[in-house]
Amino acid sequence: MKSFWGNFLKYGSYILIFILPIIYFGDNISYSYITSKAFVFYAFVEILFSVWIYTMFLDSSFRLSKKNWLYFIPLFVYVGWLTLTGLLGANPMLSFWASLGRNTGLLAIYHCVAFTIIIASLVKRNGINYLYKFLYYFVFGGFILSISIWLGDEGMNVFSFLKDSQGGGLIGNSSLAGTYLLFVLAFAFILLTFPTFSNIKKWWIGIMAGIILFSPIFFNLYGLFTGKGIIGSARGATLGILVMLGVTLFSYLFFAERKVLRIFGITGIVFGFLIFSIGWIQLINPNTWFHQKFDQSASSTRFIFWNAAQKAINKHPWMGYGPENFAIAFQQNFDPKITITNNLNDKHGNETWTDRAHNIYYDTGVSGGYPAILLYLFFIFSILYALYKAKYADKIDSLPAAILVGLLIGYLFQNLFVFDSLHSILALYVLAGIVFVLSDILDKNEYSKILPSLWLKTILAVVLILLCCTSLIFFVYRPLKKAIMYDIVIKMYIDKRPEYYKYLLQGSSIGDQYDTSSMANTIITYYSNNLMSIKADKGLTLYVENELIALSQYLEIITKTNKTDSRLYFSLVNAYLTEISLKDKPFDPVLSKHIFDLLDYNQQLSPNNLEIYWARARTYAWAGDIKNSIKEYQKAIDIDPTIPESHEFLINLAKVIKDQKLYEASMAQARKDIPGFSVTN
């Protein structure tokens, strides 16, 4: 019986790490590339962790030693600090659940830590053979992921269900897939050093690594034949691979026995650090060629994100805003230039509602202040230290140790340009767990058993089953049901959808803090952008009116508990304004006051978001107060004169009210503030 549970853990870990990057439920759930994996991961971990606790009481060989737990302290302290900042942060619920499209909140982190402890226990107990099998399944799952990338929208475009995968295959994003595959490649290289593997198996691992390395997101072999070029879409991860290989070389020299080689290794590491320092200084200096080239390739948004993040950290240097609350911090430190859109060749796109800084330093700093950054670096250092100790205890050879050092540095480097996902967080934590127990792997003759009485085992089993079932209900079933309901609502026919908003108020609270506003903004923006064609169809107009009324009522309820999402309040205001325009609704002083109250509150959340001023100007115009409408547009212009939309709205207002003097003055101001300005509509 005891060996059964040990095998259950072992094979359960193999299955989970293999299927995690490739699980996909189809388009029947919101953010299917993410949620398909997250909730399966949660379910697996909750079951495995319950079994591990039970097995640990029956067999002491599954227990980690005091030395192992000491290595885990930096990770626990880091996660503990994030927990504290989440509880005291801007939106504790969002910190815990995260959005459905991310699933990287505290709940995900806790599950990653739990799985890491399981893997550390299994490596300690079962030894190197288990470790290499586990890494093999890790690599094999990554290989299947890379096949989906080859066949996806940036590759051969074979499968229609991958048409919206953004180059990431079954992960759904090329940058997130690239980060995960960075770990996969490193583990594949380590497997090639395993002495007991047959040549056939090594050839197979090499083929898998080659297919990954030359996939469309890294060194794009397929792109050479299609004219897309050799550099794939995951540019940050591609740079991470190059950094990993360079650091691996110098680390291998550092671990060498010959002094001259160690000197070369140390020199290379120091020289590489200097090159990075100089390059980073050049990157963040807006007057340099390097900065301007990166600015063009990243559509300028990265520096806007980073500047806003630094301002947010400066405001809350000790505790930050809490995990997953970057969107809140970004709105408080909003840069209007992010709203520049098509009339300037889509320079920025429209990333007004971004929720990531795309930089691990800034994302971590916003989550937990400077202490979080230091604790994260301390955690990384603990991995390097444990690896160093294992190397000089002869528990790992020089080349695998050098590869792992290269992997860590390459991962940190590429994370300066992207953000973490559930997959990359899990991969990092699992790597840490493996390294922490490398120097403490048991011999077979060290196994010992604990034989508690039958009634104690029964009580423990019952308690664990109850706890596991409870967690499965609250952290898997109910959130998964909610995610499915979001997908049902967004895809529902317009004549039926108003009846379904009430179902989004039931069950789990996941999604209420971020995904609701995402859904609402998508629906309302579509209606407002197609207002004239909708008004031309009387039958469609009636359906849209009913939809906007039901959606507004639903959003009003959500605002009672969600006080931090600027997009939520803007979507509610936009719903009212769109309904007013659609119905040519006569002025209603009660509704007008309510809209102004919503805008006033939203302005506290995002003082520099020009869309708030534009909406207030529209509301004044509806009330017939043209003077204040003009003032609101002028306020928006004063905040940032380089934003063309503010000028356009004021010019169009002048046309509507036939004020030639205002029109000429507005055009003159626009051309002064924006050289070459012209009205686009």
pLDDT in tens, 403-447: 999 999 999 999 998 899 999 999 999 999 999 999 888 655 555
Residues 172-224 pLDDT 10s: 999 999 999 999 999 999 999 988 888 899 999 999 999 999 999 999 998 88
The closest of 248, 356, 245 to 309, measured between CA atoms, is 356
Query: What are the backbone dihedrals phi and psi of residue 449, each rounded to the nearest 5 degrees, phi first?
Result: -115, 155
Residue 348 has pLDDT above 70, yes or no: no
CA gap 164, 34 in Å, rounded: 13
Predicted local confidence at residue 298, as pLDDT = 60
Residue 380 has pLDDT above 50, yes or no: yes
Average per-residue pLDDT in the chain?
A: 92
CA gap 432, 449 in Å, rounded: 27
Residue 276 neighbours by CB under 8 Å, 6+ apart: 413
The closest of 483, 473, 527 to 503, measured between CA atoms, is 483
State mean pLDDT over 95-109.
96
Residue 349 has pLDDT above 60, yes or no: no
Predicted local confidence at residue 341, as pLDDT = 45
CA gap 52, 468 in Å, rounded: 12
Tokens of 586: 């006569």
pTM > 0.85: yes
pLDDT more than 70, % of the chain: 96
Confidence tier at 681 by pLDDT (50, 70, 90): low
Quickly tell me which residue has 């507004």 as its tokens: 552
Predicted local confidence at residue 28, as pLDDT = 83
The helices-and-strands tally (H runs, E runs) of the chain is 27, 0
Kindly state the greatest CA–CA separation across the chain.
Answer: 94
Task: Please state whether 277 falls in left (phi above 0), alpha (psi between -120 and 50) or beta.
Answer: alpha
Predicted local confidence at residue 345, as pLDDT = 39
Residues 104-147 pLDDT 10s: 999 999 999 999 999 999 999 999 999 999 999 999 999 999 99
pLDDT more than 90, % of the chain: 78
Half-sphere exposure of 461 (CA within 13 A, CB side): 10
DSSP state of 29: S
Residues 501-528 pLDDT 10s: 999 999 999 999 999 999 999 999 999 9
- Collapsing DSSP to helix, strand or coil, 508 comes out as coil
Highest mean pLDDT among 19-28, 93-102, 487-496: 93-102
Predicted local confidence at residue 300, as pLDDT = 67
Confidence tier at 71 by pLDDT (50, 70, 90): very high
Q: Give me the sign of the Cα torsion angle 150, 155, 157, 161.
A: positive
Q: At what angle do helices 422-437 and 106-150 cross, to 10 degrees?
A: 110
Predicted local confidence at residue 1, as pLDDT = 45
Quickly tell me which residue has 């989440």 as its tokens: 86
Residues 258-299 pLDDT 10s: 889 889 998 998 998 898 888 888 888 888 887 777 777 665
Residues 296-325 pLDDT 10s: 766 568 889 999 999 999 999 999 999 999
